[in-house]
Structure 1
């Protein structure tokens, strides 16, 4: 067999199956679509689950892909072994009710032995123990020697996840040679040793499982195969593991150059090199598919990987951000198959660099805290084991962004474990509010299952029509299908056609009414199910509606017009942002309703007031230019040639809808829009803020929203005029400046009066001083004065007598403050104002501290202050005594 690079292997596989009538589909994004069961795509078949389940129709019955995948269950083992990785590519060929076992086995064997020329005697086959059909095909049709066949049990060779399509598997193994084996006479595929490496799994989905052990043969069985590209490359390149194949090794070499270390010279540095190599591959592809670092979900996975890689960079002696440099090599090595990486290179590198810099600001402080905690725990003799509490681990996560696995890894190196259960409790408590908020929004996750048996998709005519006639296809009440819905009931009505837009692409669903001769249903919201049924959610206001009834659907036109203005403004806004800030700007999310245009985008610093003004002016200029808005449906290639912007990380079908606003903004979009930019009316940015590292948010209003904003501002100015007693808005600035100057003068006057009061208090209290050793002690409760005046009084004592120790308290509005000051010689004799305040506050349920000569604190139990103040002389005497003993 001939040495073959990763990129050539990928191309050879796809072209081979194309020659067998398969449609080559580009890799789906790593973010699952219409599948809440997965955080990230983790196999070749995962993004095509709905094809296998019959929920969606595949573009062709024969499909082949090379799918990007992320798996993180073994993340803590990545680097420690050469086998484990989080990112990989899976080659696969799929049949949706077309060919079955005969073709799947024949083509797999042909590809391996004829295209790649792998010696037949190096290949072994495993089958499910009772799958005699597969055994006969392999031995009698393909010609496999029975000595190269192995029957394995359900755990190894039967694919099943819950209910649904399932079936036996047949796996193809490569014999790496006796030197990799365990030496046992029965060593064969399925053995735990390293000799037989599984390279391809052929899944024969021929049954429908009810999840309770009952299997019904499928009328049209399916084929789902998966072969790891990197694992195949190991075979073709004669290397031991994925870190030594060409494209991956080139990434590692870049890291080695930066760190000044070589691979396979030191096991400790090898671990770090493997961790960084794997994680930078994963993170580059994740960001390329639109994932950004966050503290939950897939964004948290990304953050974990980046921070774990950054930490291992420090272990190699790399102090400055460097991962963004290595990402360039990842892009370069993979751009032949994934040209979008090169197109989004600036964005990907910017996100990685921003996260590295963000982590660098906290890692030193967090590491210091963690090391202190570990030192304390490691030094203790604890019979039950040395454990870092979940509370402390959570604080490291919440404050410094330390992922739990990073804390566990660092602690584990010192023989300290982490209380994961307690950490999980803190995490769950933190998420409870978010869960409650989501629950308040309702859960429509069940509709897809309820509607699965309803034939046909809803025909959408709402791009051109705001009213239409339709037939009721289904009714849902209380989570189940129903035949009718009566007056006063809430539910969901599904029509065979509709003018109501179903929530999607950041645009909210339409509202309006459905009505018949004697019935009215108020639509409060519209959503789409996973199989494209439009769900009209609302309340039955009059009469009764039955399945099969003819209705008239009419949307709230005024609301739809406002929504369209805001949606079109979002497109203009993105064009303006890219013009002002740069082409690294990509949409990270959006939300448009009748009141608001909210746009999230990639950028790494707060926008200046000048940048905001420039963006706002550009959008308004495009509105005033009255640019025509045209919508066309075309192929992806045509849209790309036209310069259309796509939602970052989104994957589209063969035919796409392109919205062109006079050539200034060209985007792929399924939403509704105005037909001319002039109809947006006006555009005003009301807020610019940060929502995540490297992601900014702009909130803006259009049309009547701007008029409402103007009216609100005018009302505020009218109120200000009335309060300041001026006749016109033009007089406001001068009057406001005059009032501010007057208040400043009064503040100065009050400060002078307070100073005189403090002086008077000082003179009166000086007569109460008592001798305590070498110092003069003055202490008293001065209730009703402000804390800042209290401090002025204590500091005045300090400045008038070097031997003085002054301690005073005040209670104001139910809160108590304690202040202390010490003269120079009192400090030299051992009295410490900060320590004194701290000890007094501890007696009254508070806290405080400060410098040796001046300190402040607060108290929660104000009724114990008098009792605590009685102890002040003994506290001062104790400090003086301790100082003498040390001297």
Structure 2
């Protein structure tokens, strides 16, 4: 067999199964669509569950894919061995009630031995111990020698996950030769050594499990196969692990060039190179599918991977941000299969670079923390960094344990590695439990089930009314024949002008009527199978399955929504023009009242940038540009430069919305046919949503007029409050009022100072000497906390040694201020500790710095007792001369 590259193997596999009547589907997004049981897609089967469960109709009963996958349960082990990785691609061929065992087995053998020309004597096959049918097919029909066959138990060769479809499986292994083995005479398939590599798993889904050990033979059996692309490449290229296959090795070589190191020269360096190489592959694809760094969910997985890669970069001497450069190679190596990465390259680079810069600041804080820990240990005469401190450095500040050990060793200090490992394991177990609790069953069912054909949407052309037929009614999740007056229900029609909520655009509302009944539609959504769900209530009469109805949308609401949706397209183009090509939509909500647009950017927009973007949109409105919507093959749409949404799944034919040569986007929403119909566009606000994501809220058309009306009403109310007959000169009057208030504030501050000075003289009349320090206390009822603080500031700046505690009660609340001059602090005085002790007498709490501190008074009637205790408390701190 000859050497073949990853990209060549992927294409050969998909083409082979296309020749067997399979429909090739592009890889689904790593972000699960409509599946809350998974954080990230982790297998080739995961995005196809809806087809296996009958929740959606597949494009063909035979499908083949190469699916992007990410698995992170053992992220800490990535890099430590050459086997573990987080990102991989899974080749698969699937049958939804079409072919079964013999076809799956025959084609697998044909692909290996004929297409890839693998030597048959190097291939071994395992079957489930009770699956005589599969065993006979392999031996009698395919001709595999019995000494190349192995029967394994349920743990190895029976695929089952909770309840739902399950069945035996058959695995194909490649013998890498005795030199890769353990040397034991009984070395065979299933041995833990590296000789026999499992390459392809054929799952025969023929039973339906209730999850309690009961299995029912399914009428329509399925095939689900999975083969790791990188693992196949290892076999075809004769290398030991995924880091040595061509595309992955090229990424690693780029890292080596930046670091000035080589692979296989030093084990510690090799670990770092493997971590960086694996993690930058994962993060590039995750960002390409719309995942943003954050502190929760899949965003946290992304951030953790990026930071882990960056910190290992530091271990091999890379002190500057560098991962964003390696993104270029990741994209180049995968561009033939995933051209969308090339389109989003600038965006992905920018996200990675910004995250690296942020992390660099965090790591610097970690260095400061470690320095503090080492200094304290030396002061205490200790020589071991605790496992807790090492774990905090790793978990909070991104410090690898190796870096902590290296820096500590330079100062003759060790690290409690055993305790550190225990804490890491505890965290890993918590993560696994959380993962499994969230995952539930991979086959969990949900949604409304019906046999009716998908709803025909006529709302692009029929924007007001459509005659239709009721094909289903649901109440409380159950299918019913009738919805009576006053009852909430879900109505499904054979065709509808109602737009179903999707792509950030809200669903239409309106009514479904017969001559004798009215069903008021509050909103519209749709199922995976394309059934439009009209959600609302019967407000008059009754509606029955089979009724012919008139479906009428709220035309005014639709028009306002369309204006805001078209404005979102113009806004994205304007933002890219003003801020740069890294801007991409990160989410949107288009309603009849406003347009909310989230986009990738890394700093708050300036006032000038906001106004510039707003002006660009209004400029396009005034140009009255035709808005053209058309359905095109996806390849043709991409040639036009149409922008796609991150993580969105597109079919072979897509809807493209074009606004002259200014904006071209994939979009299934509804739009005006000319920009002039937007009337006007106004940005209401610009704010932060998450790290690297900004949000703009804006209005168009009548929304702008309503905004101007609200401004006018606000100005009129302000003028009335200032006793002006109209709004003329309102700004000048406001400025004068602010200036007047500032002058009054200055006068109040001056009076407070005079009060403070007047009271200060009286305070020291009662001063007592404690170990050479003046200790004074005073009760100043009615004095504000601000005045107390000012008096304290005066005291702490005195040259002589002074400790003072001042109290004030205002109503039911009271405050204590303690101030200590520098000379008093030299003798041991500490304002924070003293005020804490004094406040405790009243049941209050507080504290602060050595020179000045405040506390709250608990029981106000005990203030006198607390102040009397000051002399004794101060004496405990003050050293005798």
Is TM (by shorter chain) over 0.5? yes
Contact map agreement 1:564 1:673 (CA 8 A) in 2: yes
Closer/same/farther in 2, CA of residues 122 and 845 from structure 1, 3 Å limit:
farther
Q: CA deviation at 1:104?
A: 2.3
Which of 193-202 and 46-55 deviates more? 46-55
In the other structure, the counterpart of 1:66 is: 66
Name the residue aligned to 2:196.
196
Q: CA separation in 2, counterparts of 1:401 and 1:250? A: 27
Give the structure 1 partner of residue 510 of structure 2. Answer: 512
Could you tell which deviates more after superposition, 867-876 or 525-534?
867-876
Residue of structure 2 aligned with 1:417, choices 412, 419, 422: 422
Shift of 1:400: 6.7
- The structure 2 residue matched to 1:664, chosen from 649, 662, 665, is 662
Task: Give the Å deviation of 1:93.
Answer: 2.2
Task: After TM superposition, list the pairs within 5 Å mapping 1:606-625 onto structure 2.
Answer: 606-625=604-623
- CA–CA distance in 2 between the matches of 1:423 and 1:764? 65
Counterpart position of 2:86:
86
CA contact (8 A) 2:206 2:221 kept: yes
Structural mapping, 1:337-356, within 5 Å: 337-356=337-356
Partner of 1:460: 457
Question: 1:380-419, aligned counterparts within 5 Å?
Answer: 415=420, 417-418=422-423
**TM-score normalized by structure 1?**
0.90
1:428-507 to 2 correspondence within 5 Å? 449=446, 451-465=448-462, 466-507=464-505
Q: Is the 8 A contact 2:820 2:850 kept in 1?
A: no
Aligned to 1:692: 690
Work out the CA distance in 1 between the residues paired with 2:13 and 2:321. Answer: 38
- 1:427 offset after TM fit, Å? 14
Rate the CA distance shift 1:472–1:373 in 2: closer, same or farther, 3 A.
farther
Query: CA separation in 2, counterparts of 1:69 and 1:782?
Result: 70
| Distance in 1 of aligned mates of 2:399 and 2:719 | 52
Structure 1 distance, partners of 2:400, 2:592, is: 40
Describe the SS at the equivalent of 2:878.
helix
Q: Output the TM-score relative to the length of structure 2.
A: 0.90
1:707 equivalenced with 2:705 (yes/no):
yes
**Take 1:691 and 1:610, find their aligned partners in 2: how far apart are those partners?**
21
1:243 counterpart = 2:248: no
2: CA distance between counterparts of 1:510 and 1:458?
A: 15
Could you tell me which residue of structure 1 aligns to residue 546 of structure 2? 548
| Aligned counterpart, 1:32 | 32
CA shift, 1:38, in A, is 2.0
After superposing the two structures, state which structure 1 stretch, 344-353 or 166-175, moved more. Answer: 166-175
Deviations 1:377-403 (A, max 9, x none): 9999xxxxx98599x97x997x87999
Question: For the Cα contact (< 8 Å) 1:127–1:157, is it kept in 2?
Answer: yes
- Is the aligned partner of 1:224 residue 2:221? no
Q: What are the residue-to-residue correspondences of 1:180-191 with 2, within 5 Å?
A: 180-191=180-191
Structure 2 Cα separation of the partners of residues 603 and 463 of structure 1: 33
What's the offset of the Cα at 1:326? 2.0
What is the distance in 1 between the residues matched to 2:734 and 2:416? 59
CA displacement at 1:12 relative to structure 2: 2.5
Q: Distance in 1 between matches of 2:365 and 2:812?
A: 37
Name the SS for the 1:652 alignment partner.
coil
Instruction: Give the whole-Å Cα distance in 2 for the aligned partners of 1:728 and 1:519.
Output: 52
Aligned-partner SS, 1:54: coil
Equivalent of residue 520 in structure 2, options 519, 522, 533: 522
Name stretches of at least 5 consecutive residues in structure 2 with no aligned partner. 381-385, 405-414
The answer on whether the counterparts of 1:389 and 1:422 sit within 8 Å (CA) in structure 2 is no
Change (3 A) 1:839 1:589: same
On the 8 A contact 1:591/1:598 being kept in 2, the answer is yes
Label 1:771 to 1:684 Cα distance change in 2 as closer, same or farther (>3 A): same
Q: Distance in 2 between matches of 1:864 and 1:542?
A: 71
| 1:581 CA displacement | 1.1
> Is the CA contact (8 Å cut-off) linking 2:831 and 2:847 kept in structure 1?
no
| 8 A contact 1:686–1:699 mirrored in 2 | yes
- Residue 423 of structure 1 deviates from its aligned partner by 11
Say if 1:762 and 1:2 are closer, same or farther in 2 by CA, change over 3 A.
same
Contact kept, 8 Å, 2:311 with 2:400, in 1: the verdict is no
Deviation string 1:87-130 (CA, Å, 9 cap, x unpaired) is: 00112223334433333222222222233222221110111222
**CA separation of 1:604/1:81 partners in 2, compared to 1, >3 Å: closer, same or farther?**
same
Corresponding residue of 1:747: 745
* 1:642–1:326 Cα change, 3 Å: closer
Structure 1 window deviating more from structure 2 (580-589 vs 639-648): it is: 639-648
Task: Pick one of 826, 833, 836 that aligns with 2:834.
Answer: 836
Cα drift, residue 826 of structure 1: 2.7
C-alpha change, 1:331 and 1:518, in structure 2 (3 Å) is same
Moved more, 704-713 or 24-33: 24-33
1:89-100 mapped onto 2 (5 Å cutoff): 89-100=89-100
Alignment of 1:258 with 2:258, yes or no, is yes
Q: Structure 1 769/197 Cα, relative in aligned 2: closer, same or farther at 3 Å?
A: same
State the distance in 2 between where 1:447 and 1:812 align: 62
Measure how far apart 1:64 and its partner are: 2.4
Query: Could you say if the C-alpha distance between residues 239 and 586 of structure 1 is closer, same or farther in structure 2, counting changes exceeding 3 Å?
Result: same
Task: Measure the CA separation in 2 of the matches of 1:427 and 1:72.
Answer: 10
Cα deviation, residue 282, structure 1:
0.5
Q: Which residue of 2 aligns with 1:678?
A: 676
Q: Secondary structure at the match of 2:264?
A: coil
Q: Which residue of structure 2 aligns with residue 313 of structure 1?
A: 313
SS in structure 1 at match of 2:34:
coil
Call closer, same or farther: CA 1:578–1:448 in 2, change over 3 Å.
farther
Instruction: Tell me if the contact between 1:388 and 1:417 (Cα under 8 Å) persists in the aligned partners.
Output: no
2:312–2:400 Cα contact (<8 Å) kept: no
1:374·1:388 contact (CA, 8 Å) conserved in 2? no
SS at match of 1:312: helix
Q: Identify the range of structure 1 (314-323 vs 63-72) with the bigger mean alpha-carbon deviation.
A: 314-323
Q: CA 1:96–1:379 in 2, change beyond 3 Å: closer, same or farther?
A: farther
In 2, distance between residues paired with 1:143 and 1:735?
97
Residues in 1 aligned to 2:163 and 2:66: alpha-carbon distance in whole angstroms: 26
Deviation at 1:715, TM superposition (A): 1.0
Structure 1, gaps ≥5 residues long: 381-385, 430-434, 436-444
Match of 2:844 in 1: 845
Deviation at 1:745, TM superposition (A): 1.9
How many correspondences in the alignment?
857
Q: Give the distance between the partners of 1:426 and 1:42, measured in 2 at CA.
A: 16
Paired with 1:851 and 1:878, the residues of 2 have a C-alpha distance of 15
- Which digits, 9 at most, give the CA deviation of each residue in 1:311-338, with x for residues without a partner? 3233334333222122222122222222
TM-superposed deviation, 1:550: 2.1
